[in-house]
Chain A
Amino acid sequence: MITKKVSKKDIRKLLGTWNQECNVIVPSRVDGVVGMAAWDNQDISFLDWYRNTVIPPKSCFLPKSEVMMSFKKNENGYNLEVPTNEHWQVIFGVRPCDARANAIIDHVFAVTYDDYYYISKRRNTLLVGLSCTNPYDSCFCTSSNIDPTESEYVDLMFTDIGDDFVIEDFTGGGKALLNMSNTLKKVTKADIDKIKEVKAASVSKIKKTVDTENADRKLGSLFNDTDYWERISAKCISCGICTFLCPTCFCFDINDEMIRKQGARYRGWDSCSFRSYTRMPMENPREEKWRRVRQRVCHKFEFFPMNLGINACVGCGRCIRSCPVNWDITQVIAGLPAEAGIKSGK
């Protein structure tokens, strides 16, 4: 519900209020890469340059690497210690595509077994969305049925209407955030008209489209077409950046380290692009590159829909923007042969 707006010059004050109670996370450049990082209580220049992060906000719940437990050996055996995640965070500036992506990987981490590390961070987080009014050429969220100015997966949604952000609140948590502040203003009839204008304009800025209709069925019939996958994967260099930066990619590795009698078990992002990902001592089911590319495409557009009824692609375009060899997943989906069983041409 649209109830309030905040002047752009008051954003620092608003974030400052929230920052007193929880950690405010904002788009930041860390080592030259844009990701979500703790706010310094001062800088709001990201409002001018921020389009979307390079590293998706999934990193707030599934960090690039994290300690799962530390252990110490003593005379009675091992003593295990698990880090706690009880701090509260507000992530400001989440784009609707990434908000959807978080909701998608929630299914992975909260089904059958709860993943303590992911959920303990996720449940302590409020998402403040920011309408995407300046998308990249490579963005194709509308093809995943996402409106770049709307989201059902955030607590608050901010939309830039010039001097002000109009705020929509969706949840109790979002309302609570608004109630903490005294810098908000009432919206006017003119603001409502303006936001409609901005929303329409934003949607029309997404020029890239891809038809994902029946992609799962088409991929199913192509699964054993080795020639097709070899051709599609030819230029891929298996660097894995598409998977690391994908907001719905969640694969991780678990490893131990120990020096003398102390050590830690930690986990970090892994990628289906790598041979080592599935390598077993005797053999590797995905030794060849085309099998790994096939896994990535089929996981997003065939296996995920089979299991959860939704494509695991939100159209954020990160994999396209970051690929060093211009591999474009939309071209693969668009180029799928139309009828089941049809052999692809060379």
Chain B
Amino acid sequence: MIITQIKQRRKELDRDKNVYVPHMVLVDKIIEETPTVRTIHFHFKDPELNKEFTFEAGQFAELSIFGVGEATFCISSSPTRNDHWECGINRVGLVTAALHRLGVGAEIGFRGPYGNHFPLDIMAGKNLVFVGGGIGLAPLRSLIWNVLDNRDKYDKIAIIYGARSPGDLCFKYDLDTWEADQSLNTIITVDKGDAMWKGREGFVSEALRDAAPSSRNAVAVVCGPPVMIRSTFPVLEQLGFMPDQVITTLEKRMKCGIGKCGRCNIGNLYVCRDGPVFSYAQIKGFISDEY
């Protein structure tokens, strides 16, 4: 009858997977990073997914609190450490506030991983410069641990990270480890120190300028608030980095995370689908204007 004929005709669309239905994950551990940032560690409720789930550094997920909504977070743990997963959450809105009210054992929704990832294949054998600001360390941290777990594949590594104040530095336990690691050049800076602060003061872009890493055979990976990104790109250019040597990961308001809902575009590129990882060459024409 008619229905069978139509079914055959529309067979190419007949896939019953519904990507909007989240997987359930359980919160294992909560680390308070700063007064407004916490990291949640979680695993999947479905034991099969715990074994099967993989992702690449730089990819993101939609976390949801049922009844409150969904929001977008990068997965901040390293793909090389797949026993659990982590997301860093800055309390800025409805969903993030709800995520900050959670306790260990809470059940939340997880969709992902979505988006592209950092180009580890291009970075292999090169000098790496990581430039991060504030909560922007979350995606970088996933990449940095991924790189450090395969340390011999890469040449010199510099990590330049800053926050507004000492209290705003995220992942301090990682910063301590990296500072102690002699194979890394780790520079931590804060915009304004306090009485206890013995370290460097000043913006990340200034720390980068002073450190002046060589652009030869190098890749710079930049992630932070837009104001930091905008001030960092010119410094990298002065240091001789070409636009395709500079990689960043962007953040935009998202709903679907899969290129449908429309709002996260920069020009013809969707941050969720074509990104979130972009080379500066890709977004140069739009960066000063829409980001």
Contacts and interface: CB of A to CB of B under 8 A. Distances in A.
B92 interface: yes
Nearest to A277: B263
B107 A77 contact: yes
A282 B45 CA distance: 33
B194 to A, nearest CB: 23
Contact of A176 (B2, B20, B68, B264): B2
A59 interface: no
Given A88-B3, A123-B10, A251 B17 contact: no
A113 B67 contact: no
A285 B6 contact: no
Contacts of B291: 285
Interface string B259-291: 111111111100001000000000001100111
Contacts of B289: 223-224
Chain B interface extent, by class: 35 or more
A256 B109 CA distance: 13
A80 B13 contact: no
Given A172-B9, A251-B263, A112 B258 contact: yes
Nearest to B251: A280
A263 B265 contact: no
Given A223-B289, A258-B67, A126 B6 contact: yes
B261 A251 contact: yes
Given A116-B18, A123-B10, A254 B268 contact: no
A321 interface: no
Nearest to A305: B268
B1 interface: yes
Contacts of A255: 69
B253 A279 contact: yes
Contact of B261 (A223, A253, A281, A303): A253
B6 A78 contact: no
Contacts of A328: none
Contact of B2 (A173, A270, A299): A173
A180 interface: yes
A228 interface: no
A232 interface: no
B290 A114 contact: no
Contacts of A304: 268
B255 interface: yes
Interface stretch (A28-36, A42-50, A103-111, A130-138): A103-111
Interface string A257-298: 110000101010010100001111111011000010001001
A116 B17 contact: yes
A113 B68 CA distance: 24
Interface stretch (A66-74, A185-193, A203-211, A338-346): A66-74
Contact of A256 (B1, B66, B261, B285): B66
B192 interface: no
Given A116-B20, A279-B253, A270 B67 contact: no
Interface string A118-135: 010011101000000000
B47 interface: no
Nearest to A285: B290
Given A22-B2, A280-B253, A282-B225, A112 B259 contact: yes
A82 B17 CA distance: 11
A173 B225 contact: no
B101 interface: no
Contact of A116 (B16, B93, B286): B16
Nearest to A249: B262
Contacts of A283: 226
A82 B18 contact: yes
Contacts of B226: 282-283
A234 interface: no
A253 B255 contact: yes
Nearest to A306: B268
B15 A69 contact: no
Given A114-B17, A116-B20, A251 B262 contact: yes
Contacts of A126: 6
B156 interface: no
Nearest to A177: B2
A252 interface: yes
A36 B261 CA distance: 23
A123 B14 contact: yes
Contacts of B201: none
A300 to B, nearest CB: 12
Interface of B: 1-3, 5-6, 8-10, 13-22, 24, 45, 64-70, 92-93, 107, 109, 225-226, 251-253, 255-256, 258-268, 273, 285-286, 289-291
10 contacts: A78-B107, A88-B2, A108-B259, A113-B260, A116-B20, A122-B10, A124-B10, A250-B260, A250-B262, A272-B263
Interface of A: 21-22, 68-69, 71, 73, 77-78, 80, 82, 88, 108-117, 119, 122-124, 126, 171-173, 176-177, 180, 223-224, 250-258, 263, 265, 267, 270, 272, 277-283, 285-286, 291, 295, 298-299, 302-304, 306-307
Cβ-closest 7 pairs across A and B: A258-B67, A281-B92, A251-B262, A123-B10, A116-B18, A303-B268, A306-B268
Given A119-B13, A223-B286, 8 more contacts: A80-B21, A109-B260, A110-B13, A123-B14, A177-B2, A223-B267, A252-B261, A254-B69
